[in-house]
Amino acid sequence: MDTAQAKNLLFSTSFPPDKIVDILEGSFVAGASTVTNHSVPHTFGQTMFTQLSYSLDGGTTWNDQGVMIPDLTTPSAPVFQTLNVNAYTTTTDCVIRAHNYLGNTPTVTYRVALVWKD
């Protein structure tokens, strides 16, 4: 991913592009009706800020971290709490956490920018 793509990934956040130390990309299957933690190791030795974008359709549409996509297949009974995806770091890993409120097992495609803390 080049710098322009990294800037697009961060949308209009307050993170300056020169603080982006890595962009992690990948996918995992979120378990049905549970919390799934997907860990990706890093070697920076400290926690960092994260900016996550995730997709449930293989990268056609992207959502910001914490945004849940409502299930409107039954208009008379919409489901608003569906899948919540966030990221955080430890001193050794970036953890992408998917809290799946539904009985399905979606594939979560993610991009996480690791942003250095001063």
Q: pLDDT tens-digit profile of 29-54?
A: 999 999 999 999 999 999 999 999 99
User: Would you place residue 12 in the very low, low, confident or very high pLDDT band (cuts 50, 70, 90)?
Assistant: very low
Exposure string over 15-28, b if 16+ CB within 10 A, otherwise e: beeeebebbbeeeb
Segment 89-116 mean pLDDT: 94
What distance in Å separates the CA atoms of residue 95 and residue 88, rounded to the nearest whole number? Answer: 5
Domains of the chain: 3-66+79-115 (2.60.40)
User: Would you place residue 63 in the very low, low, confident or very high pLDDT band (cuts 50, 70, 90)?
Assistant: very high
pTM score above 0.75: yes
What's the order of all strands across the beta sheet hosting 107-115? 20-29, 107-115, 49-55, 63-64
Helix (H) / strand (E) element for 63: namely strand 63-64
